[in-house]
Structure 1
């Protein structure tokens, strides 16, 4: 196993303190948004097996089956199929959706055939992969996820008492659920920008007033007013009012499948996703919004988002169950003095110490021989390790360990 040296991405929405605090480092005053763990070519982690630092992506490329295992290579190709992150949001991320695998494959092929440069600001598909993801809260974490029930959204919008929103309320009452949501989102994103800016301003003032009065939508109104302060006049503020406002407590998670509109607002969490950069934006951003393609990808289904809580097995692994295979995420809550927990082997894994101190020990067997790397590693809070397929490891200590791997 190998200790990871990871890159922090300084996106403007990031917290200036959360990741430094996790790592026990001094804040620089600049935003630190994401800590990347894995082999994504944009910022691969680095390891050192005695010959100097090397990118994990290069190590895997040199011996895919040895690092990932034959079954993982057969199913996902000669690369680590997930990216593991710590995400620290201090202001809202863009409102967005991700395509499914068929949409991504077709969209990427189409843009390649039309010669759209890969770095063009209007390009939608950077690769041919889908991007399901899961966010698990380390602190209280707020976001928007999926369409709220249209009847409830009609009630929320009507209470704002903004004249220009009343036709939207009528749409929600006049059509079946999916048709109403599609027609309303289309109307919001294609409206005259000057008129929409006035609507956003009026709605934000009303939301701020209603948030102070309490009631079932008070937290949501406060969130929408905050979005308008960050993105004045942005149609995405009204689009956001169609979505569920969600607040996760530490240890709770959300799985975000294809076509589900969402945005993270604030908090610290661990995030895992399939390796892809495919994002279609709905608003809350100065970046390109391709409305026709967005409407093709969005799933116009409503309902309360399913908040995931981990389910423990007899070995102490607490699994966050998801319906895809490119990643599998779980955690271990370790207690000092207890027996070490053997971690499943056979697939590549990345281990993150989220609290306390965790000791990792390689379990030697006749089959594994001496193994690679050191026999023991101690991870402090915020530190992580990579374990190649086939290396058997057990974890002990006093802390919380997140385990990211693939489902085989």
Structure 2
């Protein structure tokens, strides 16, 4: 077991209070949008293995099969294939889609061949991987996910009574579903900017007077004149209750609007944006990636294992598997053993991790005085024999468990478990 030291990303859309409240800390006044847990090169977690804090990415690179397990390395290469986050949104994130594996590989190869710099603002494919993701709400959580049925989108546009929206509503009613959605999204993203800004402003004013559609007025307040405001009206508006989740597969347009959640995704940076952003929008490539299909957003609820109590969020993604445990005081500790690496995250109460003292994985490192909030001390037997180490996690704190290592969990609270679905 290794306690993780993690990095908070201060994106402008982040909440100034949600993560500090979870951590039991005073707000700094700055937005705190995401806490990253994993080995992403942009902000890898750090672990203590006896020589000072080291990036988890370096630890894995040194001995990938030992850290990740042979099956993970065979399937995904010598890298942790998922990234776990705490996400705290106080303003809408960009409206976006992610490519599938074939599209990502082809797009990345094309941009490499054309010599597009990785840090170029117009670069679409930072890597050759797809990016399925799952968001699980810790508080009421609002988002947009997948296309509405065209006639439902037409009804919404017509209800606002804005003349500039009528042509789009007519297309949505008159054309086949896939053609209608493609034509309207294309028209919104390629229209004259000044004309579109005026239409967005009129639509936002109309939406502000409607309880049902006030969410779009709020989006427009953050992104005035952005055609993404109207594109958002084509999508399903979803409000998750705590414990509910959304899975976002390839080609599905989506945006998170507000709330605190646990997010897990394949370890990729490939994003195509549709709007609600000052960043580059590549309309042609976007239209190649988007799946123009009306969908039910498909709210996920965890399925509990009757024997272990583990509540699993089932998805088709192979790179990750997310589950949670409701820990009850006095209960027999659950044993967690996996052929892949695990990250364990406490979101409520206290979780206690039990493992062998002095294990090769680094158990015992970072415990005791100076180890940080919630640290515990190793316990050895009176005769000096190898004993048991304990690691205490409080909300927002996490730990890394290498492949093949067993850890037992107990406590009084909620613990999320992220691993690879191998």
TM-score (norm 2): 0.92
Q: Deviations over 1:288-322 (max 9, x none)?
A: 11001000000011122000000001211100000
User: Residues of 2 paired with 1:59 and 1:117: CA distance?
Assistant: 28
Q: How does 1:2-41 map to 2 (within 5 A)?
A: 2-41=2-41
The alpha carbon displacement at 1:371 in A equals 5.7
Residue 350 (structure 2) pairs with residue 357 (structure 1): yes
Aligned to 2:409: 395
Structure 2: any 5+ residue segments left out of the alignment? 365-388
Alpha carbon RMSD of aligned pairs, Å? 1.2
Among 277, 286, 306, the residue aligned to 1:285: 277
Pair 1:376-2:390 in alignment: yes
| Residues 1:275 and 2:289 aligned together | no
Find 2:419's aligned residue among 394, 405, 408.
405
The CA distance in 2 between the partners of 1:370 and 1:228, in whole Å, is 53
What do residues 37-82 of structure 1 show as CA deviations (whole Å, max 9, x unaligned)?
A: 0000000000102221111000111111111111111111111000
- The 5 A counterparts of 1:134-149 are 134-149=134-149
- Runs of 4+ displaced beyond 2 Å: 368-372
Separation in 1, partners of 2:25, 2:66 = 35
Describe how 1:276-355 pairs up with structure 2 within 5 A: 276-313=268-305, 314-355=307-348
Q: Displacement, 1:19?
A: 0.9
Work out whether residues 361 and 401 of structure 2, in 8 Å CA contact, stay in contact via their aligned partners in 1: no
1:140-219 equivalence runs, <5 A: 140-211=140-211, 218=212
- Secondary structure of 2:210 counterpart: helix
Cα deviation digits, residues 103-126 of structure 1 (max 9, x gap): 010001111111111111111111
How many residues in Structure 1 have an aligned counterpart in Structure 2?
397
CA separation in 1, counterparts of 2:316 and 2:122? 31
Equivalent residue number for residue 225 of structure 1: 217
Name the SS for the 1:210 alignment partner. coil
Match of 2:194, SS state, is helix
Give 1:117's aligned residue: 117
Distance 2:108 2:70 in 1: 28
2:229 corresponds to which residue?
A: 237
Q: Matches of 2:239 and 2:177 in 1, distance apart?
A: 25
CA–CA distance in structure 2, aligned partners of residues 11 and 252 of structure 1: 25
Residue pair 1:363, 1:394 contacting (<8 A) in 2 also: no
Q: What SS class does the counterpart of residue 209 from structure 2 fall into?
A: helix
Shift of residue 369, structure 1, vs aligned partner: 7.1
Could you give the per-residue CA deviations for residues 309-337 of structure 1, whole angstroms, max 9, x where no partner exists? 00001211100000010000000001101
Question: For the residues of structure 2 that align with 1:394 and 1:63, how far apart are their CA atoms?
Answer: 24
CA separation of 1:346 and 1:160: change in aligned 2, threshold 3 A:
same
Residue of structure 2 equivalent to 1:214: none
Matched, 1:264 2:278: no
Aligned-residue offset at 1:372? 3.6
Counterpart in the other structure of 2:374? none
TM-score normalised by L of structure 1: 0.96
Aligned counterparts of 1:179 and 1:406: Cα–Cα separation in 2? 38
* CA distance in structure 1 between the partners assigned to 2:338 and 2:214 by the alignment: 46
Q: Secondary structure at the match of 1:308?
A: coil
